[in-house]
Structure 1
């Protein structure tokens, strides 16, 4: 769990994870394509991996591995406040850890040092990012750096409380904001950040309403936060602070922070939000303002490369199954019934895939990462005809970003700057009706779009724990300012 915080830094953009593990499940229609020659596949795999590694490397150089590791350490180095303010003075941590009662084994090698006793995290602690040693680029799920798939250790900083801190709690004014779309667990993270800051002794904690907009809209006032205020907010979905997309210019945001005396900023959001957090950090640094900015990564799609799981994903999958179950009942109860469910997933199909796997009722799962055809001998419609003839019904689960090449292109953008997607669910529904009418087979098609329903509920137990860890580690990170 300590590795979760290592994406919590405004110093780099959140890389997206656009590939899925391969599961041998015959019930799902996932086209499998094999290259005619192994070396072509190997070349493609290595090429795909090296695109993400950063600088060009000469694999004939005997020191390439060392150079790669140094570059990785440089790019993922977490900035410390002393990098900007070398004269910053540390004080002993105000976060107290309960000591356990010593036992005889503790004295086997002599009297334990203070470091062994109090349980703080050492600044030199690291966590191994990847634990699988792939021996071939053709292995399932392999991500290789060089053509021989050489094992290269990649280490990231360990999260947790440190012995020394660089902000005096009585001088801190911390602000929290949530941006982008809703996600189960936002209130859980807000709650734990507030609780952790209060444990350190921070008294001035405020919430900025409706994301970055709250810094510029004069009608929006900051919300005082305390343990009493946030005690039960995790029992509800949504965000106590409200959300919005976009925001004012960075200079205006930093001006507002300076005017309000904010020297700690917690930002909960996705790619665009973290780009804004990074810009705020750079502007504060340019102005020599002693401000710490921490980003807590949020995406319901579970597509951040360095994280095993993002908060809200488990809850979304759980809620998505309700729609799939409804589609199954509708399809199974009708003569030649077809149920279509469209789920969130602009660039990745993790929600659609996991909900399909968990339900066990989906016959066809369509995701953005895997190209498919609707028509033709290997098309979805031909397979659907087979399912109707053999099973009498079928259920299709499709991610919103799948099959966009079948739809008319648009230049329209949303508030976050993303291209507005066409409705692939409606398109598939229309194509099914047209196809089966043409071949004289009656079908009863039901289309369910629970897009926003799956993101509005409270976090389930699994996400609640993850949010607690993220919120607590964000508080640790901010106060130590490492």
Structure 2
């Protein structure tokens, strides 16, 4: 834990908060005391490590409303942008931001920038939407995002010019680690010009792979929908002679959805994730033994698993700079069919790739609650004058985390941790190394 120091968790501020918070809600909301913080770590071994180095324990700011705020609500203009791939809960985030800004602080000018960072470049020709409680009232029941989304950056200077032209004081950026790196570029350009513009990130990754954050919105909804798909694959497998249900799920570098959906479904026999490399000459004979014994099998594979097994073509990259992955699902299906053909055994493989269907579903009730609280926390942080930070969930609390921290790396499943060991125990599979 020594790679995270007390100083790494300091949240930048635009200035001193001098205004009294305007509370238009009918009920009392307790303000968060500035000195009320929580520990970044929670295991005794971490405490011992910091003590051994005589290091100050790292502390996290709790998210929530403050008694004093930096911005005068009467003069604030807000912008919202959603970037990257679709994820359940995006519309709920937008709704929460709009309602909190409007009802709690009385902010009346809220822009929704369309199709990601493209909407912050006026030369692209995508005028922003004007948002208010009426226009976003029922969007939480819909999948996707009413603002649209896209991948890829825009020049920070151009985007800040546009924010200045519109008079935007607060920009909420909803996206993954690539989006947050773009938001960091914005904060640096804002600081260079000495502008009072708060940039607040709301981490979005359906893969649940943002560093130092326990849970990201949309993840639970994705697992729930993936579980339904796995149940269908199970029925297909049982309905055919030596049936094999093969489901490919999201997970470029992290197998959280695959692992959790495998556990939730209780019918998966093999779960393959990027963090645990596997060999075909180990995996396929084990699959053969399962088919001979039970006459059906269900396989779940994360999209980033087994990339080293597939003959590589010339590397291509998407607009976010991510290397385009080969289709591990189609590759595995072909390898399984060829293997069983060589063994003179019948095998009927049913391959399902539900990725886009899962990304676009409406959020579960619990995810809606989670998104509501994330949006509220983001607005309170922005109005207090904080910037270059994200709101996230860690150690059972909504907290403030610097953008520089959450963009360090992508979170991955610990191969020797509880989740993966539970997957191995539940499926009965080996590690196939």
2:410: which partner in 1? none
Q: Which of these residues, 102, 114, 120, is aligned with residue 31 of structure 2?
A: 120
User: Alpha-carbon deviation of 1:144?
Assistant: 9.1
Task: Show the counterpart of 1:92.
Answer: 20
**Which shifted more, 148-157 or 221-230?**
148-157
Q: Secondary structure at the match of 2:5?
A: helix
Tell me: CA distance 1:74–1:97, structure 2 relative to 1, closer, same or farther (3 Å).
farther
Give the aligned partner of residue 116 of structure 2: 211
Judged with a 3 Å threshold, the aligned counterparts in structure 2 of structure 1 residues 209 and 123 are, in CA distance, closer, same or farther, namely same
2:301 is matched with 398
Alpha carbons 2:244, 2:296 under 8 Å: kept: yes
- Per the alignment, residue 322 of structure 1 pairs with 228
Higher strand share: 2
**1:211 Cα shift?**
1.0
Query: For the Cα contact (< 8 Å) 1:95–1:161, is it kept in 2?
Result: no
The alpha-carbon distance between structure 1 residues 222 and 130, as it changes in their structure 2 partners (threshold 3 A), is same
Alignment of 1:356-395 (within 5 A): 356-375=262-281, 379-395=282-298
Q: Does 1:272 align with 2:272?
A: no
The equivalent residue for 2:40 is: 129
Query: Could you tell me how far 1:128 is from its partner in structure 2?
Result: 2.1
Aligned-residue offset at 1:381: 0.3
Check conservation: 2:6, 2:57, Cα contact below 8 A.
no
- C-alpha distance in 1 between matches for 2:173 and 2:155: 16
2:383 aligns with 479
Q: Residues 351 and 151 (structure 1 numbering): CA distance in 2 closer, same or farther, change over 3 Å?
A: farther
Counterpart secondary structure, 1:231: coil
- What residue in structure 2 maps to residue 284 of structure 1? 190
Pairwise mapping of residues 45-194 of structure 1 onto structure 2 (< 5 A)? Answer: 53-54=2-3, 72-82=5-15, 88=16, 90-95=18-23, 119-134=30-45, 153-194=57-98
Query: Could you list the per-position Cα deviations for residues 265-299 of structure 1 after superposition, in whole angstroms to 9, with x for gaps in the alignment?
Result: 00000111111111111101100111111000000
With normalisation by structure 1, the TM-score equals 0.76
Q: In structure 2, how many angstroms separate the alpha carbons of the residues matched to 1:204 and 1:404? A: 47
Where does residue 245 of structure 2 map in the other structure? 339
**1:394-426 deviation per Cα after TM superposition (whole angstroms, max 9, x unaligned):** 010000000110012341001110000011111
- Shift of residue 471, structure 1, vs aligned partner: 0.2
Structure 2: give runs of 5+ residues left out of the alignment.
387-433
Q: Which has the larger radius of gyration?
A: 1
Deviation track 1:408-452 (CA, whole Å, cap 9, x = no partner) reads 234100111000001111111111111111111111111010011
- 1:202 maps to 107
Pair 1:255–1:366, CA change in 2 (3 A) = same
Aligned to 1:119, what secondary structure does the other structure show?
A: coil
**Cα distance, 1:305 vs. partner?**
2.9
For residue 340 of structure 2, what is the aligned residue in structure 1?
Answer: 436
Kept in 1, the 8 Å contact 2:7–2:58? The answer is: no
Q: Residue 298 of structure 2: SS of its match in structure 1? A: strand
SS across alignment from 1:174: strand
Q: Is the 8 A contact 1:250 1:280 kept in 2?
A: yes
Partner residue, 2:425: none
Checking the alignment, whether the CA contact within 8 Å between 1:294 and 1:478 is kept in structure 2 is yes
Of structures 1 and 2, the one with the larger relative CO (CA 8 A, separation 6+) is 2
SS at match of 1:452: helix
Query: What residue is the counterpart of 1:37 in the other structure?
Result: none
Give the Cα–Cα distance (whole angstroms) in 2 for the partners of residues 374 and 149 of structure 1. Answer: 45
Q: Is the 8 A contact 1:169 1:203 kept in 2?
A: no
Q: CA RMSD in A?
A: 2.2
| 8 Å CA contact 1:133, 1:151 repeated in 2 | no
Q: What do residues 138-159 of structure 1 show as CA deviations (whole Å, max 9, x unaligned)?
A: xxxxx99589999984321111
Per-residue CA deviation, residues 18-63 of structure 1 (Å, 9 max, x unaligned), is: xxxxxxxxxxxxxxxxxxxxxxxxxxxxxxx6xxx43xxxxxxxxx
Aligned-partner Cα distance in 1 for 2:276–2:82: 32
- In the TM superposition, residue 183 of structure 1 has moved relative to its aligned partner by 0.4
Question: How far apart are the structure 1 equivalents of 2:273 and 2:17?
Answer: 52
Aligned residues: 383
